[in-house]
Amino acid sequence: MFNYFLPNEFVKTVFQVTPEYLRAKGIKGVITDLDNTLVAWDNPAATPEIIEWMKGMNNAGILVTVVSNNNEMRVKTFCDPLGTPFICDARKPMTKSFKKACAAMGTKKEETVVIGDQLMTDILGGNRKGLHTILVVPVASSDGFFTKFNRMIERRIMARMKRRGLITWED
């Protein structure tokens, strides 16, 4: 059961996921969460660093699609200025949006990674679809209402995984 919540990798920020690293792994597409993965959940626009990260991916020929449970206005406001495709109201951890993103990018599951800050949505959904998952530390220490509930459950799951020796990184 815990395997579905266990990411393949853990990094502190998305900036540690470089185009060179992904290309060496044969990755052609990135499905990334938006809120608290790329920017703080209450920040409507991309930071200059995220803009550069996205440009780096595009210049390397790695496609990026934002898949978010948030509403269309929130996701569109962030993605449109970047020219980044997105799927909103994704209903993660359901796998339909992950499948849709892979189809839109034209990538196979072994050529695609999921990057996100939540075990309950991003990692669980990506793992259920058989995608390579990368957990990042949340950008902000505050969360929206529903995410606060998820974080409470995540802390319990992570504590159990740590006790069983499944987690090898530091908090």
Domains contained in the chain, CATH given: 2-163 (3.40.50.1000)
Handedness of CA 70, 72, 75, 77 (dihedral sign): negative
In this predicted model, what pLDDT tens digit does every residue of 79-100 receive, in sequence order? Answer: 999 999 999 999 999 999 999 9
Closest CA to 116 of 4, 2, 7, 1: 7
In this predicted model, what pLDDT tens digit does every residue of 4-42 receive, in sequence order? Answer: 889 999 999 999 999 999 999 999 999 999 999 999 978
State the pTM of this model: 0.88
